[in-house]
Amino acid sequence: MTFSAYSKASVQESVAPTSPSPRPSPHRMGRGWPIGRVRGLCPRCSLWEHSTCRQARDSRKAGEHGSIVSLPPPPALLLNAQGKPMNIHHLELFYYVAKHGGISEAVRSMPYGIQQPAISGQIIQLEEFLGVTLFHRRPFALTPPGRELYDFIKPFFDNLTPMAERLRGGISQHLRIAASEIVLRDHLPPVLTALRKTFPKLKVTLREGYHPEVLTWLQQQDIDASIGLIGNGKPPTGVNAIPMFKMPLVLLVPKSSKLKNAQELWQRDRIDESLITVPSNEAISRSFQDGLAKLKVDWYGGIEVSTVDLVQTYVENGYGIGVTVAVPKMKYHAQVRTIPLEGFEPVTFGVLWQGRRNPLIEALLKTLEGAVRRLLEGEDASWSLVK
């Protein structure tokens, strides 16, 4: 049962049938009939019938119209105490607020421009109309009535865009991708160029993001795929992963540093240089700390930056020693050099997506696999393809 059925049934104006046969008066939805008295859909007329409709119940006309398709009653939340249906636009705003976990978060994710006070005011109207509180503001949490309403409307709003694409006569050609700055800048453009040969109307939305943040975006359906480091663990339920190749960890030191290998660091009683890393919850930092734990070495981040490119920048400016991954054919900054980290677990590079492999995702995966093979051609065994 879809939400659209009830929204159609809640129309208060008289509705004339579209059947090519004569229009008998019982086949009209009377003004002011409450939604609760609508019984179902006449298969021939494709109209929502009042419970007293005689045409579809008349045994002499059964061959023409068949019997009414029965429908489950709508949730009580769809009506107020007077039996009036709620404002559909208010439902849409509530859907985005519930999906993104707050009003300010919804403002940033809405497909059209709207200010936070406007959303707040209309959500308050919706709550007053229903006579319930739909969510707690700080910290954000849906109430039981809010969860019931969100679970009911979510399938309808989730499927609006795919339905529009099908009605336009083809599969969706909009691809929303999250990836690291390096992937977006240096590696993704030729992949998208190749995809456009198969999907000439391809529309792409690109977003910089890193694991594990991208997992939340996938689960909230804010993106279609993530390309980059995916960690070495199992992805959450509902998220699919294809590992492509392993990337070894390396230290970044200033070119003027006298450090020859990592073993010199591990032999010290204390490492005085600041460690420059990406956030501790990302795959690089987790793999590095796991390796240090095996060596029984304590060395925690002194400077945390958002991207591996910034790690280079701060190492180059003498702020300490950085940890990152060795990227094939990567051109490092002129004033830094790399030191291999032997014995540390490599980090997996791959693709994450949610749901089934539609033709667009399938084409993306195939194109990326070819791009990865070309990228690793002529490189040493430090990078290994995942079979």
103-158 pLDDT, tens per residue? 998 888 787 888 899 999 999 999 999 889 999 988 999 999 999 999 999 989 88
Under 8 Å between Cβ of 331 and 309:
no
Q: Is residue 332 part of a domain?
A: yes
Residues 259 and 221 both lie in one domain = no
Quote the number of domains for the chain.
4
Amino acid at 248: P
The domain boundary, picked from 26, 42, 74, lies at: 74
Q: Is residue 121 part of a domain?
A: yes
Q: What is the dihedral of CA 102, 103, 106, 111, to 10 degrees?
A: 160
Q: In the prediction, which pLDDT does 165 show?
A: 67
Q: How far is the C-alpha of 220 from the C-alpha of 371, rounded, in Å?
A: 28
Q: What is the average pLDDT across 11-33?
A: 39
Q: Is residue 82 part of a domain?
A: no
Q: Is residue 169 part of a domain?
A: no
Q: Is the pLDDT of residue 273 over 90?
A: yes
Give the residue among 80, 102, 85 at the shortest CA–CA distance from 93: 102
State the DSSP H helix or E strand holding residue 142, giving kind and residue range, or none if neither. Answer: strand 141-142
Q: Is the pLDDT of residue 4 over 80?
A: no
State the DSSP H helix or E strand holding residue 213, giving kind and residue range, or none if neither. Answer: helix 213-219
Residues 58 and 96 both lie in one domain = no
Q: In the prediction, which pLDDT does 38 show?
A: 39
Q: How far is the C-alpha of 333 from the C-alpha of 376, rounded, in Å?
A: 21
Q: Is the pLDDT of residue 350 over 90?
A: yes
Give the domain extent around 314: 249-345
Q: How far is the C-alpha of 180 from the C-alpha of 150, rounded, in Å?
A: 33
Residues 209 and 354 both lie in one domain = yes
Residues 195 and 232 both lie in one domain = yes
Q: Is the pLDDT of residue 5 over 80?
A: no
Residues 234 and 378 both lie in one domain = yes
41 three-class SS: strand
Residues 338 and 356 both lie in one domain = no
pLDDT digits (tens, 9 = 90+) for 73-111: 455 555 555 667 778 899 999 999 999 899 998 888 787
Q: Is the pLDDT of residue 26 over 70?
A: no
Residues 264 and 193 both lie in one domain = no
Residues 327 and 256 both lie in one domain = yes
The domain boundary, picked from 74, 106, 135, lies at: 74
**Which sign does the torsion angle of CA 183, 186, 187, 193 carry?**
positive
Q: Is residue 167 part of a domain?
A: no
pTM: 0.61
Residues 241 and 254 both lie in one domain = no
Q: What whole-number percentage of the chain has pLDDT above 90?
A: 50
Q: Is residue 165 part of a domain?
A: no
Distances (CA, A) of 158 to 153, 155, 279, 323, 376: 9, 5, 32, 40, 39
Higher-confidence residue of 82 and 369: namely 369
Q: Is residue 80 part of a domain?
A: no
pLDDT averaged over every residue in the chain? 79
Higher-confidence residue of 260 and 379: namely 260
Higher-confidence residue of 383 and 264: namely 264
Residues 322 and 353 both lie in one domain = no
Residues 239 and 265 both lie in one domain = no
- The CATH number assigned to the domain holding 119 equals 1.10.10.10
Residues 204 and 279 both lie in one domain = no
- Residue 77, judged by CB atoms within 10 A of its CB (0-12, 13-18, 19+), counts as middle
Q: Is residue 266 part of a domain?
A: yes
State the DSSP H helix or E strand holding residue 308, giving kind and residue range, or none if neither. Answer: helix 308-316
- The CATH number assigned to the domain holding 327 equals 3.40.190.10
Under 8 Å between Cβ of 123 and 94:
yes
Q: Which range is least confidently modeled, 22-36, 110-124, 150-164, 209-223? A: 22-36
Q: How many residues does the chain have?
A: 387
Please measure the distance between the N-terminal and C-terminal CA atoms of the chain and give it in whole angstroms. Answer: 43
Write a three-state SS string for 324-354.
EECCCCCCCCCCEEEEECCCCCCEEEEEEEE
Q: In the prediction, which pLDDT does 93 show?
A: 94
Q: In which region does residue 231 sit, left (phi positive, over 0), alpha (psi from -120 to 50) or beta (all else)?
A: left
Q: What is the average pLDDT across 20-44?
A: 40
Q: How far is the C-alpha of 59 from the C-alpha of 180, rounded, in Å?
A: 66
Instruction: Take residue 281 and report the two structure tokens written for it.
Output: 């919850």
